[in-house]
Amino acid sequence: MPASLPLTLAGAGHRCSVALIVVLLAAAAAAAEPWPRWRGPDGAGQGGEARFPVEWTDSDWAWTAALPGAGNASPVVWDGRIYTASADEAAGRRFVTAHALADGKLLWSRDLPGPIDRHHVQNSSASGSVAVDVRGVYWMWGTQDGVRVEAFSHEGQPRWHADLGRYEGEHGFGATPAVCRDLLIVPDDQDGTSAIVALDAATGRERWRLPRESAKAGYSTPLVLDAGGAEPPLVMVTSMAHGVTAIDGLSGRVLWERECFPKRTVSSPILAGPLVIGTSGDGGGDNLLAAVRPPAGAGAEPEIAYTLDRSIAPYVPTPLCVGELIYLWGDRGVVTCVRAATGETVWRGRVGGTYSASPIAVGDTVRNVSADGEVVTIQAGDSFEVLGRAPLGETCRATPAVIGQRMVFRTAGRLLALDAERGQAADRVQASGSSGAAR
Amino acid sequence: MTHGWTAWIVAAGLMVAGGATAFGHGHGGHGHGRNSQAKKDANSWRDGFRGPHDFGGGVRIPQDAGLNKGLGGGLDGRGFGRAVTPLDGGGRLDGSDLPLDGGASPGYRGGTFAGSVQ
């Protein structure tokens, strides 16, 4: 949308104004809070307050960019750059790429040759998402020959790599690491030998390793809770073997643990007030959501606050908590809104489609992308209402990123950028003292 | 909503394990204090196992506690077959490499997953 406007508006003055707006928008996007892991800070899926369209066409994209391969890795954003991963399975190559948030230009692509394993039809050879911090970019991939963690600088220079040993999982690999201060927390939850490993983010050297029991390979991304200061961060993980586990992020010591999942964990844990929310399930829909209340202090134990069964709990999509409500976007297109404190159902509604991506909150809306590539926007709040639908034109199993006034989608083989509605953008630019020309 | 609870959960979690927290130092530090708590917990854990569709007995303990409480108590009543973790320095209670319930995990048969692809 903004890229095409300077070409369609008549008059040099308008062109200058619009060009200025484009520059300001790009600068604002670059300066906005980063989206350093899939689903943004804390994996909470909070996309800010910008007002984005709920329906659009191909002509409305700010830009689109082809990826060198296909995959399900969600986009992450840091300092004006979009990082993601893809794979050319026929050629036996994987790619970590950086694109400019402003215009979608490919900044660099790193080629990672390696074997391609069989995987579930909904999985890919580049399903784990990139994690990013001030030092650089981290991505992990795995085959039965081994799990490998790759680290690059923001400029794409290889920094280090770590080999974690063989991987066994009937659906294929798809784990995502999480940054925890100067560590990279690597979940290695598999059918074979499982562990959670903390690597030095600067060097790749192993700092601690927590052996884990194995049940069914999981795909959850660790949730890092960091209050800052002298307190060590907590790493919250979910797995079929152990349920919900709280780990001292600096030492790897288990602080508490609560078994609660009868099936594999694919979604990632989130925080809903004082509760840790996780789900487990399988392709048959035999899902379960557990809300675990952490122990309140010495002598206390974690408790199950409530559970929700297969009719409500999602399997792959991660729950979304906004205020007092949790939105549970079911794999088969039924969305349930429950009260975070009690699990009581507020409403249920059918949006249709099937889903692997996870919902995010944007303004007063909740959005998710179906596997068919349809972006569905519903109203956030106490009642169910579908506000709009828009096509991405391609299969999608990745969760979008939101940086200020720009939303970035990743389909199987493309990145697509959408800007907030022009009225709000214009208002913001006017407020900054620039020209008030409408975009 | 989420952000305000982070500090509370972090501090409370550290207190549980006996580590230093903003609330002061928990008793025991690494291991010993928690170990005694774990022994006390053992009975309540066993009492907590109530079979199918019950979460009883699910609590597991820190790796330094020297005791494992993870037996049985699976949601479907079949147990999880993860009696002893490597963390406590022991093998499985029955000395085998198999889950204690002889294959409790759905689809698990002799070290491979026999279930079909979902």
- ipTM of the complex in this document: 0.73
Contact B60 A225 (CB under 8 A): no
The share of chain B scoring above pLDDT 70, in percent, equals 12
Question: Rounded to the nearest 5°, which phi and psi values hold at A195?
Answer: -165, 160
Residues on chain B touching A212 (C-beta within 8 angstroms): 85
Contact A42 B21 (CB under 8 A): no
Please report the pLDDT score of residue A285 as a whole number: 86
Query: C-alpha distances in angstroms, A41 versus A33, A81, A97, B2?
Result: 9, 16, 21, 11
Q: At what angle do helices A12-31 and A422-431 cross, to 10 degrees?
A: 90
Considering just the CA atoms, what is the radius of gyration of chain B in Å?
17
Rounded Cα gap, residues A399 and A276, in angstroms:
21
Residue with tokens 């795909």: A219
Residue A286 C-alpha, separation from nearest chain B C-alpha, in angstroms:
11
Label residue B10 by pLDDT band (50, 70, 90).
Answer: confident
- DSSP state, A46? B
Within a 10 A sphere around the Cβ of A309, how many other Cβ atoms? Answer: 11
Structure-token pair, residue A167: 């991987």
Within a 10 A sphere around the Cβ of A211, how many other Cβ atoms? Answer: 15
A-contacting residues of B 9-48, CB under 8 Å? 9-19, 21-23, 26-27, 30, 37, 41
CB A123 within 8 A of CB A141: no
Under DSSP, is residue A317 helix (H, G, I), strand (E, B) or coil? coil
Within a 10 A sphere around the Cβ of A121, how many other Cβ atoms? Answer: 9
Contact A295 B9 (CB under 8 A): no
Confirm or reject contact between B91 and chain A (CB < 8 A): no
Residue spans of beta strands (DSSP E) within A166-242: 178-180, 183-188, 194-200, 206-212, 223-225, 234-239
Which amino acid appears at position A119 of this protein? H
Is pLDDT of B47 > 80? Answer: no
Provide the terminal-to-terminal Cα distance of chain A, rounded to the nearest Å: 8
- Condensed to tens digits (0 to 9), the pLDDT of residues A169-222 reads 999 999 999 999 999 999 999 999 999 999 999 999 999 999 999 999 999 999
Rounded Cα gap, residues A134 and A78, in angstroms:
8
Residues on chain B touching A211 (C-beta within 8 angstroms): 85-87
Q: What is the mean pLDDT of each run of 10 residues along chain A (439 residues)?
A: 32 47 50 87 96 96 98 97 97 98 98 94 95 98 96 98 95 96 97 97 98 96 93 96 97 96 97 96 93 91 95 96 97 97 97 97 98 98 98 97 97 98 52 31
Confirm or reject contact between A226 and chain B (CB < 8 A): yes
Rounded Cα gap, residues A134 and A401, in angstroms:
18
Under DSSP, is residue A374 helix (H, G, I), strand (E, B) or coil? strand
Please report the pLDDT score of residue A283 as a whole number: 87
With 0-12 CB in 10 A as exposed, 13-18 as middle and 19+ as buried, what is B93? exposed
Please report the pLDDT score of residue A291 as a whole number: 98
Confirm or reject contact between A332 and chain B (CB < 8 A): no
Please report the pLDDT score of residue A28 as a whole number: 52
Please report the pLDDT score of residue B72 as a whole number: 32
Question: Rounded to the nearest 5°, which phi and psi values hold at A367?
Answer: -130, 145
Residue B95 C-alpha, separation from nearest chain A C-alpha, in angstroms:
16
Under DSSP, is residue B3 helix (H, G, I), strand (E, B) or coil? helix
Contact B87 A263 (CB under 8 A): no
Confirm or reject contact between A196 and chain B (CB < 8 A): no
Using CB atoms, pick whichever of A213, A231, A261 lies closest to residue B21: A231
Which of B40, B60, B64, B112 has the highest number of chain A CBs within 10 A, making it the mutation to test binding with A?
B60
Residue of A307, A320, A225, A221 lying closest to A266 (CA atoms): A221
- CB neighbours of A369 closer than 8 A, spacing ≥ 6? A355, A357, A375, A376, A392, A396, A398, A399, A400, A409
Q: Is the pTM of this model over 0.80?
A: no
Please report the pLDDT score of residue B90 as a whole number: 28
Label residue B109 by pLDDT band (50, 70, 90).
Answer: very low
Please report the pLDDT score of residue A396 as a whole number: 98
Contact B22 A231 (CB under 8 A): yes
Domains parsed from chain A with CATH numbers: 18-423 (2.130.10.10)
